[in-house]
Structures are given as structure tokens and as C-alpha cells.
Structure 1
Amino acid sequence: MTVRLAVITAGITQPSSTRLLADRLLGAVTAALGGPAAVAVEIVDVREHAHDVTNNVLTGFASPELQGRLDAIAAADAVIVSTPIYSASYSGLFKMLVDVLPPDCLRDKPVLLGATGGTARHSLAIDHALRPLFAYLGALVAPVAVFAASQDWGSSEAGRLGERIERAGTAFARLVTGAPAPRQVDPFEQVTPFRTLLAEVTGAA
């Protein structure tokens, strides 16, 4: 079964760390779902549709190109979002796209949250801004999200960022497919009884 993924990325620069995070999250989710053959991907780069999104907000009508992107988001089985954080919240351009989405198109749909910012102090925006927004829209927001500060990309923290992205992608794939979480192994569950150990030692002697 092919999983339809929509990726919304709201970076405004080119190149963009926000787009890079979206691509990394997509790669992790794709790998966890079984590889490129298991997914069909629609990438919605909000920067490329900024004028159309603005006109849609002002007039209530979407251009044919923008409507195609909105329809792809509505038809997706799951959505990955990545937005820059400005002044402790998601970008205005990102919110404008959310405002013109078809009503209830995200209801009961798994959504993986990603965000970028200049400093780690912005990381709380995922919990106090993004989660409430998508909870209001009725989405199934993934518990594991990823925030990437500038320092995460080109330092010793880059490895940890990769680990966080892989963890988020794996957990999101389980949410999308309905697979149960892996069973946690109790380190004391298979302890050899002392009587058995004593018998082995005695026998060896």
C-alpha cells in the first residue's frame, strides 16, 4: 500500500534550513515506511505560492496552481510540516496557508511537526504555538517533534539532530501505519535464578 505524504515547508530564504529540515524528516519517514516505493510525495513550498496564498486570503478564491496544492494536502494520508519560528511563533506565511486549507481537511490526519529557529530558546514554540494550532484543526499530532536551531546544523550537535530526526520519523511511521510501538525489554525479565547459577558452579567444581 502506498502512503500519500504531503510536506508543507514555509522557509522564505533560498537555500532554507526549514526546507532542509523538511527534506530530512521526509527521508526519515520514507525510510521507516519501507523506502521511496512505499510513498507518494507532494511537496508544498509556501514560498513559491506566497502571492497566490495572499490573494486567496484577500479574495477567498485560490488560483488553479494553489488549488492543486491544497487538494494534495487534503488528499494526503499524512502531513509533514516545517516552519521557521519568528518572535516565538510560526511564520505568518505558514499561518496564511493553514487559513486557506479546505475545512476539516486535517481532521484525524497524522501530522509531524518540525520547526527551525536562530536559537534553541524558540524550541518551546512547537508546544505553545504549533501543537495547539493543529489540535484545533483536529489533526493527530505526532508526540515526537523536531526543532532545529542554527547551532544544530554545523557543529557537534549535528549528529544529535540526525538522531532526533530518525526517532521522529520512525515514531511517525508507526502512527501513520497503526503499528504498535516496539516492546520495551525489561532488563530483569530474563535473569537467571541464583539457584541455577549455584548449581552450574557446583557442577563445574
Structure 2
Amino acid sequence: MRSLAVVTAGLSNPSSTRQLGEKIAAAVDSAVTSRGESIEVHFIEARDYAEELASALVNTAAKTPLLDDAKKTLSAADGLIVVSPIFQGSYSGLFKMFFDSLDVESINDMPTIIAATAGSARHSMVLDFALRPLMTFLHAMVMPTGVFQATEDFGTPEGARIDQRITRAAGELANFIVANPDHVEGLSKDFSHNSGRKRKSGVGIDTDDFVPMSDLLN
């Protein structure tokens, strides 16, 4: 079974940011299922880790068990959706805190959909001027289609067009999660290491970097 991580950074509960994440995840689930595979969705709400994030950023030795579990879940996923509310013309501070806490190799080559919510369509360029560069810096494989949803779009023709973008973005992500749309389960190529770059959750000791004592003595 494939795995999909959804990182959202809404502050309220429920939030429009989480709701958009759920909507995109449902579309990805449908697209992957139509390609003959199943997928398990894991939601990572940044607000749930706010205290541990603050501790980790000012004290590298701080104990952050909940955040550590989230990092492991994220790095093990086959695909990623990130959704941030827009504050002061960019992604939220909480959203950035979460990604600042990650190992720089935690989402290497991970197929990713970027999405954002805001009160006005004036902020739509944040997708390409803030979210896309951040994910690219972390070596994620960002899908061509991003999703932006403004409060003023609900119940309008633009709202319908957003649904179309969600469907298109979900299809793009599903094509990477399931490499061949016509394959049967178990025969798809694994894209998680398609450039040879391993992922590191940053939690504990990465066995790939461990050098046996016997090698050190030679």
C-alpha cells in the first residue's frame, strides 16, 4: 500500500486549510485507486506540534517525541501534500517552523502538491514565489499544478475551476506515486530514490551513514 502525507498549518479547528488538504487528499486517493493501487493518508497538523517545534528550534537537545514521529511518517511517504494559510503575504510562521525542523534530506525527490488558502485571490502568487521555492530547496519534486483557494471563491465559477485544478494536481501526483497507470499492484517503479538520494528523517542514527568500528580501525 502506498502512503500519502498531508502537512497542513491551519490555526483553527476545523480550518479551511485542513479542509482543502482533505479535499486534495481525497482526489489523490481516488486517482491512485483508479490506477489499481490503494493509499493510506496521514495528516500532519503543524499546530499539534507547536510547543515541540518551539522547543526544538531554540534547543537542539530538546525531547520532541510527537514531532519525531511526524518526521518519520513524512520521510517514509510516497507522496506529499502541503497546505498553508497565507499570512502577511507568505506561508505562515508555523508552516515554516515545521519545515525548518526537518532534515534537509527528509523529502528528497518526494512528489509534492503545493496548496494555500487566503481571504483574497491577491495572494495566489504565493504558490510560485514562496511555497514552490521552499519545497524545491528541500529537493521535493513539485507538481506543475498548485492549488490556491480564497474565501471569496466559494460558491462562484472560480470555485468550480479550483475543483478542476485539484483533480488535475491529484492526477499528476498519482502518476508519480503509481509510475505506470496500467500496472498491477507490486510492479510499479519506486520513485522515492529515483536520483540515488536517500531520505533522512533526522531522527536517531541513519544506518546508511553508520560506519562499522572495524572499518574505522583499518
TM-score class, shorter: 0.7 to 0.9
Q: How does 1:20-169 map to 2 (within 5 A)?
A: 20-34=19-33, 38-60=38-60, 61-169=62-170
- Output one character per residue of 1:59-104: Cα deviation in whole Å (capped at 9) or x when no partner: 1235111110111001111111000111221101000000111230
**Match for 1:28: what amino acid?**
A
User: Is the 8 Å Cα contact of residues 79 and 173 (structure 2) preserved in structure 1?
Assistant: no
Secondary structure of the structure 1 residue equivalent to 2:42: strand
**Secondary structure, aligned partner of 1:47:** helix
Give the fraction of aligned pairs with identical amino acids, expressed as a percent. Answer: 39
Whole-Å separation in 1 of the counterparts to 2:106 and 2:177: 16
Q: Could you say what secondary structure the match of 1:96 adopts?
A: helix
**In 2, distance between residues paired with 1:56 and 1:134?**
21
Partner of 1:5: 4
Cα pair 1:74 1:102 within 8 Å, conserved: no
Q: 1:129, 1:120 → 2: CA distance? A: 15
One-letter amino acid of the counterpart of residue 12, structure 2:
T
| Cα displacement (A) at 1:156 | 4.0
Gaps of 5+ in 1: 181-205
Worse-superposed segment, 77-86 or 54-63: 54-63
Taking structure 2 as the reference length, the TM-score comes to 0.77
Taking the TM superposition and a 5 Å limit, the aligned residue runs for 1:160-179 are 160-179=161-180
> How far off is 1:157 after superposition?
3.1
Aligned to 2:14: 15
Q: CA deviation at 1:23?
A: 0.3
Between the aligned partners of 1:48 and 1:83, the Cα distance in structure 2 is 14
- CA-to-aligned-CA distance 1:138-165 (integer Å, 9 cap, x gap): 1101111100011122434332222221
How many Å separate the matches in 2 of 1:18 and 1:172? 19
Q: Could you report, residue by residue, the CA deviation over 1:92-119 in whole angstroms, capped at 9, with x for unpaired residues?
A: 1000000111230111111110101111
Shift of 1:26: 0.1
Q: Which has the larger radius of gyration?
A: 1
TM-score by length of 1: 0.82
Larger helix proportion of the pair: 1
RMSD over aligned CA atoms reads 1.8
SS of 1:85 mapped into structure 2:
strand
